[in-house]
Structure 1
């Protein structure tokens, strides 16, 4: 017979959500930093081609 699972505490849920959001914020910050360096022409870890035709 099926038994209901125990409820996850609010603090544990908030802690997991905070960790998830912190990871997302860190990745977004890295992406923004890379975009800024590409626009300034100082990107060393990112290889891209410039279309001079357009």
Structure 2
């Protein structure tokens, strides 16, 4: 017989959501930084053809 799962507390849910948002913010900042460096053509981390 199926048994319903216990409900996740609000604090756990909010903590997980905050961690997820923090990770996405870091990745967005890295992407923006990389785009800025490419536009300024002052990048040293990789080589690309013009």
Q: Normalised by the size of structure 1, how large is the TM-score? A: 0.85
In structure 2, the partner of 1:38 is 38
Q: Which runs of 5+ in 2 are unaligned?
A: none
Bigger radius of gyration, 1 or 2?
A: 1
How many pairs align? 50
* Higher helix residue share: 2
Question: Superposition RMSD on alpha carbons, in Å?
Answer: 0.8
List structure 1 segments (4+ residues) > 3 angstroms apart after TM superposition: none
Give the structure, 1 or 2, with the largest relative contact order (CA under 8 Å, sep 6 or more): 1
Give TM-score, length-normalised by structure 2: 0.91
